[in-house]
Chains A and B, each alone.
Chain A
Amino acid sequence: MDTQNSLDGIRLENLTVNFDEKFTLCNIDWTIEPSQHWVITGTNGSGKSALAAILAGVGEITSGKIEGVPNNIGLVSFEAQAELIANELKKDDADIMDVISLGTPVHEMIFTDCLEPELATELVEKFGLTSLMDRAFRKLSTGETRKVMLIRALSNKPDLLLLDEPFDGLDADTLAMLQAHLASIIETTPMIMVLNRFDEMPDFITHIAYMDKQGDSAGQLKYTVNRQDDVAYNELYQLLHLKTTDLDVPEMDESEKPPALDPSQPLVKLTDINIKYSDTVIVDKLNWTIEPGKHWQLSGPNGCGKTGILSLITGDHPQCYVNDIFVFGFQRGNGESIWQIKQYIGYVSTSLQWEYRVSTSCRNVIISGFFDSIGMYSRPSDKQKKIADEWLALLGMTDRADQPFNKLSYGDQRLLLIARAMVKHPPLLILDEPCLGLDDMNRQLVLALIEKICAGSETTVLYVNHHAEDKIKGIENYLAMTKNNE
């Protein structure tokens, strides 16, 4: 067998592959250099296994090209396992022949056509299969068949190992043994693994491929990250964490709860709103009502007054006192303080991030949401600290609780500010261009978090952006503003 090929690396160029007409992987660009070991990870249903399977020749290529795939691939996956079992069941011709067939015994499964029988023998012992060698393959448990497949793949001098969730269902000792064995062959055998969990990733993995869904029946290779790149690696970790864990919004601090709102009243009612600077009218006679539970998206070009409208609601705009504004039960300008208004609002914007310059810990940034302050000026209760830590866990940032906020990446800062806004479960969450200035991966992170908030809590979301592509599931009301003079 010509093994030279595999050393040149594998290239997938703009590759689109159909699987049973039910699922498509689109426009895959991926290069695997000979010395690299990859993990494929991503969201559920994004085609992680399918991507690995392409290399094993599965699927129908509709466009693009794939080259450099070696011939001798060791493949371990649930699909391959299922197929083997199905083949074994077909051999069971009991119905026709009226004899009882046990199917292929395990030793045959392992040693027929085996290129490294010594290794196979050693592995059989290590995996604890010695006593099962005469058993029929199809009579094995799922974990046992998985072990047989692993031994077959490993003892066949593969030029590439494709391991789809190889650690699933293995006990701790076996897992450690397998990991050690894989680590011992990295010099000779390139590996690609599909893993759902980052914490199972062996140390020798050099690169990560991240898959995401595109609609219900397609997947895409979104990011490839070099593991040496700490920043990208961390972002990917958080993204996967947010995309694959259920959002359990930490509870609120009942003792700090503001007076309850009358559910029959709108959260916000703006009537004939005007905003003007000197003689320039920015907003002219705008009417807008936000009812509880109705999420809104507000869009419009720069300078149309989006932020002005928001700051009328939050009480940050001085002209809120000369407009007809009803918010959270207060008709503005009747002796209420802005802190009475702000206690009902969670707010995130780029300018908030600019203003959040105080050197304080990540935990305190989240806690400051209870006080609507930038920085901490009150002693937090133990309860508040606990809630903040739950939010940090939700964001996958537990290890950064005590780090200074201003040392975090821009995207992580934004995530923390969203948590800060959400920590008190505000009746209204205002997200003013929450993705502005973020790279694509961070944008995915932020949108994933917002989507979960929209779906899973009593908070009404007001989402402001001018990127149409950042649409959020669950938002059904749209207000498009235009420039006043256009």
Chain B
Amino acid sequence: MANYFNTLPLREQLEQLGKCRFMDSSEFADGVEALKGKKMVVIGCGAQGLNQGLNLRDSGLDVSYALREAAIAEKRQSWKNATENGFVVGTYEDLIPTADVVLNLTPDKQHTPVVKAVMPLMKEGACLSYSHGFNIVEEGMQIREDLTVIMVAPKCPGSEVRAEYVRGFGVPTLIAVHEDNDPKGEGLALAKAYAVGTGGHKAGVLMSSFIAEVKSDLMGEQTILCGMLQTGSILCFDKMVEEGIDAGYASKLIQYGWETVTEALKYGGVTNMLDRLSNPAKIKAFDLSEELKVIMRPLYNKHQDDIINGTFSRVMMEDWANDDKNLLGWRAETAETNFEKTPAGDVEISEQEFFDNGILMVAMVKAGVELAFETMTAAGIIAESAYYESLHETPLIANTIARKKLYEMNATISDTAEYGCYLYNHACLPLLGDFMKDIKTDVIGKGLDLEDAGVDNARLIEVNEALRSHPVEAIGGVLRGHMADMKKIV
């Protein structure tokens, strides 16, 4: 199998990368009608598989689970998940031939063997659905011509997909139709009905392409989302301890700090995140982030280049073939970092203190978000996609760090994200070595020690202007506006 993206002419590559549109809620007026009475068979009963299935069934759709014979015979966790929730469970041979839609919700790594096993069993003209396009785009899986291939990707962990549905809402969702496999022209109708079935239409749906999804998703997750937060955690913690700050305090400031500062990001973008700082601290954070962007830009470019030309997926798949030697080794290393081993101290840190004493963390988030966004859009990915895969998802990953630190964060995200995160981390730690030498506790741990909070007017205006005029803020303003219409009216 060859990398699908690389087989396309440049014209088409650019066209596919540039696909992303925020859909209007009126486009979902038909609800789940296109899937009513159709048999949906889910493969994989992990967090996404189970929770998407629960939502679809509660929306009145017919959902069952196909598991491998061994999983059924040994009553593995996936079998338990499905049966305890009252679903019909059967083998591939039992269920796939009856399916109108097969939902492949297994981890990326299993896609090739799963799809190869399933495809011959699928009935003529059925639909195969993915929640991530890696298999199609990077591995070049060829799907039978009579089958419709769609993607419905809720942009949240499975548990959130369920929790938001139960509250009467949903999570933002990306849908796409693989144009090479849409023989009956029904792909979009099926994808929309599926998004309604999981509740995604209430939170906002992006119409994208398999290629745009894969290339932007990979870029976002390995740089700003997971990589930057992991590298930042390690560097900031070690620096604080080196400067004599209590390790418990340092651990807590970082573990919950990412979540707190990116909450401000979620509501009002980079601008609002920096507006939470005092004027002198804002200017300081701005200067640090400018410095960081210069140092890290080549690294972001390299990640994006490797993703676009397929180097990243090739190297990672080599590791898959090598029993995940690199992945498992790096995972073990993460567990051994000082930050990971130091539990958060029993100290009170107020919401504002996370900003005041975490100026460097704010600077790192700003630098990472802006770099990822700039690099993606420079590579032909449209601003909407780039926004969702950088700024929008950062608070979600920050939440997982707040819950369980780095090791568990890496266990929660996909193998692909985890692999990319380690790649980034290994390159970024040495890259920031010199930069970190000049860092003191005024920007991480203690906050600025100032006689007065005065600043130069002209400089403040300059900084505010730069913050507000960044392109990620422009598109963010538009998309958050759309979302607010659909989202919580508080």
Shortest Cβ distance from residue A17 to the other chain B in the assembled complex, whole angstroms: 54
CB within 8 Å of B: which of A415-452? none
**Interface residue? B169 (CB, 8 A):** yes
Pair B168/A372 contact, Cβ less than 8 Å: yes
Pair B490/A361 contact, Cβ less than 8 Å: yes
Pair A377/B202 contact, Cβ less than 8 Å: yes
**Interface residue? A259 (CB, 8 A):** no
Pair B84/A318 contact, Cβ less than 8 Å: yes
* Interface residue count on the B side (C-beta < 8 Å): 25
Contact with B along A132-166 (1 / 0, CB 8 A): 00000000000000000000000000000000000
CB within 8 Å of B: which of A376-433? 376-380
Pair A375/B86 contact, Cβ less than 8 Å: no
Residues of B within 8 A of A315 (CB): 58
**Interface residue? B85 (CB, 8 A):** yes
**Interface residue? B11 (CB, 8 A):** no
Pair A319/B86 contact, Cβ less than 8 Å: yes
Residues of B within 8 A of A337 (CB): 32, 58-60
CA distance A322 to B57 in the complex (A): 12
**Interface residue? B37 (CB, 8 A):** yes
Shortest Cβ distance from residue A366 to the other chain B in the assembled complex, whole angstroms: 14
Pair A358/B59 contact, Cβ less than 8 Å: no
Contact with B along A14-40 (1 / 0, CB 8 A): 000000000000000000000000000
**Interface residue? B486 (CB, 8 A):** yes
Shortest Cβ distance from residue B278 to the other chain A in the assembled complex, whole angstroms: 25
Residues of A within 8 A of B487 (CB): 377
Residues of A within 8 A of B85 (CB): 318-319
User: Which chain B residue lies CB-closest to A371?
Assistant: B168
Shortest Cβ distance from residue A348 to the other chain B in the assembled complex, whole angstroms: 16
Residues of B within 8 A of A336 (CB): 60
CB within 8 Å of A: which of B455-490? 486-490
**Interface residue? B166 (CB, 8 A):** yes
User: Which chain A residue lies CB-closest to B84?
Assistant: A277
Q: Contacting A360 at CB < 8 Å: which of B59, B84, B488? A: B488
Pair B168/A335 contact, Cβ less than 8 Å: no
User: Which chain B residue lies CB-closest to A315?
Assistant: B58
Pair B86/A320 contact, Cβ less than 8 Å: yes
Pair A364/B490 contact, Cβ less than 8 Å: yes
Shortest Cβ distance from residue B72 to the other chain A in the assembled complex, whole angstroms: 16
Q: Is the interface of A mostly helix, strand, loop or mixed?
A: loop
Shortest Cβ distance from residue B170 to the other chain A in the assembled complex, whole angstroms: 9
CA distance A321 to B83 in the complex (A): 11
User: Which chain B residue lies CB-closest to A276?
Assistant: B84
Pair A318/B60 contact, Cβ less than 8 Å: no
Pair B489/A373 contact, Cβ less than 8 Å: no
Report if A374-B37 is in contact (Cβ < 8 Å); known contacts: A277-B84, A278-B84.
Answer: no
**Interface residue? A60 (CB, 8 A):** no
Pair A375/B488 contact, Cβ less than 8 Å: yes
Pair A375/B62 contact, Cβ less than 8 Å: no
Pair B490/A377 contact, Cβ less than 8 Å: no
Residues of A within 8 A of B37 (CB): 335
Shortest Cβ distance from residue B483 to the other chain A in the assembled complex, whole angstroms: 11
**Interface residue? B167 (CB, 8 A):** yes
Residues of A within 8 A of B488 (CB): 358, 360, 375-377
**Interface residue? B47 (CB, 8 A):** no
User: Which chain B residue lies CB-closest to A340?
Assistant: B60
CB within 8 Å of B: which of A319-369? 319-322, 335-340, 355, 358-361, 364, 368
Residues of B within 8 A of A339 (CB): 168
Pair A375/B60 contact, Cβ less than 8 Å: no
**Interface residue? B325 (CB, 8 A):** no
Residues of B within 8 A of A67 (CB): none
**Interface residue? A316 (CB, 8 A):** yes
User: Which chain A residue lies CB-closest to B31?
Assistant: A337
Report if A335-B62 is in contact (Cβ < 8 Å); known contacts: A318-B85, A321-B57.
Answer: yes
Q: Contacting B167 at CB < 8 Å: which of A359, A375, A379? A: A375
Shortest Cβ distance from residue B32 to the other chain A in the assembled complex, whole angstroms: 8
**Interface residue? B308 (CB, 8 A):** no
Contact with A along B335-372 (1 / 0, CB 8 A): 00000000000000000000000000000000000000
User: Which chain A residue lies CB-closest to B32?
Assistant: A337
CA distance A364 to B490 in the complex (A): 8
Shortest Cβ distance from residue B63 to the other chain A in the assembled complex, whole angstroms: 9
Residues of B within 8 A of A361 (CB): 490
Contact with A along B54-73 (1 / 0, CB 8 A): 10011111100000000000
**Interface residue? B403 (CB, 8 A):** no
**Interface residue? B36 (CB, 8 A):** yes
Pair B489/A377 contact, Cβ less than 8 Å: yes
Contact with A along B31-47 (1 / 0, CB 8 A): 01000110000000000
Residues of B within 8 A of A359 (CB): 490
Report if A358-B86 is in contact (Cβ < 8 Å); known contacts: A336-B60, A338-B58, A372-B168.
Answer: no
CB within 8 Å of B: which of A106-144? none
Which interface residue of B60, B62, B87 has the most chain A CB atoms within 10 A? B60
Q: Contacting A377 at CB < 8 Å: which of B58, B62, B168? A: B168
Shortest Cβ distance from residue B403 to the other chain A in the assembled complex, whole angstroms: 16
Shortest Cβ distance from residue A155 to the other chain B in the assembled complex, whole angstroms: 59
CB within 8 Å of A: which of B192-223? 202
Pair A373/B168 contact, Cβ less than 8 Å: yes
Residues of A within 8 A of B202 (CB): 377
User: Which chain A residue lies CB-closest to B80?
Assistant: A278
Shortest Cβ distance from residue A137 to the other chain B in the assembled complex, whole angstroms: 64
Shortest Cβ distance from residue A314 to the other chain B in the assembled complex, whole angstroms: 11
Which interface residue of B54, B169, B202 has the most chain A CB atoms within 10 A? B169
Residues of B within 8 A of A322 (CB): 86
CB within 8 Å of A: which of B11-57? 32, 36-37, 54, 57
Shortest Cβ distance from residue A200 to the other chain B in the assembled complex, whole angstroms: 38
CB within 8 Å of A: which of B160-200? 166-169
Residues of A within 8 A of B32 (CB): 337
User: Which chain A residue lies CB-closest to B202?
Assistant: A377
Contact with B along A259-300 (1 / 0, CB 8 A): 000000000000000000110000000000000000000000
CA distance A442 to B87 in the complex (A): 42
Shortest Cβ distance from residue B131 to the other chain A in the assembled complex, whole angstroms: 21
Contact with B along A176-193 (1 / 0, CB 8 A): 000000000000000000
Residues of A within 8 A of B36 (CB): 335
Residues of B within 8 A of A378 (CB): 489
Residues of B within 8 A of A318 (CB): 54, 84-86
Pair A373/B84 contact, Cβ less than 8 Å: no
Shortest Cβ distance from residue A344 to the other chain B in the assembled complex, whole angstroms: 15
Which interface residue of A322, A337, A359, A361 has the most chain B CB atoms within 10 A? A337
CA distance A374 to B86 in the complex (A): 25
Residues of B within 8 A of A355 (CB): 167
CB within 8 Å of A: which of B74-131? 80, 84-87
CA distance A442 to B58 in the complex (A): 35
Shortest Cβ distance from residue B286 to the other chain A in the assembled complex, whole angstroms: 30
Report if A358-B490 is in contact (Cβ < 8 Å); known contacts: A318-B54, A318-B84, A322-B86.
Answer: yes
User: Which chain A residue lies CB-closest to B166?
Assistant: A316
Residues of B within 8 A of A371 (CB): 168
Pair B60/A335 contact, Cβ less than 8 Å: yes
Pair B54/A377 contact, Cβ less than 8 Å: no
Pair B169/A375 contact, Cβ less than 8 Å: yes
Residues of A within 8 A of B57 (CB): 321
Pair A376/B167 contact, Cβ less than 8 Å: no
CA distance A375 to B488 in the complex (A): 7
Residues of B within 8 A of A377 (CB): 168-169, 202, 486-489
CA distance A318 to B202 in the complex (A): 23
Q: Which A residues have a C-beta under 8 Å from some C-beta of B?
A: 277-278, 315-316, 318-322, 335-340, 355, 358-361, 364, 368, 371-380
Q: Beyond A336-B60, A364-B489, list 6 extra A-B contacts (CB 8 Å).
A: A315-B58, A321-B87, A360-B490, A373-B169, A375-B167, A375-B490
* A-B pairs with beta carbons under 8 Å apart, 10 shown: A318-B54, A319-B85, A321-B86, A335-B61, A337-B60, A360-B488, A364-B490, A374-B168, A376-B489, A377-B487
- In the A-B complex, list the 7 residue pairs whose CB atoms are closest, starting with the nearest: A373-B168, A318-B85, A374-B167, A337-B60, A322-B86, A338-B58, A321-B86
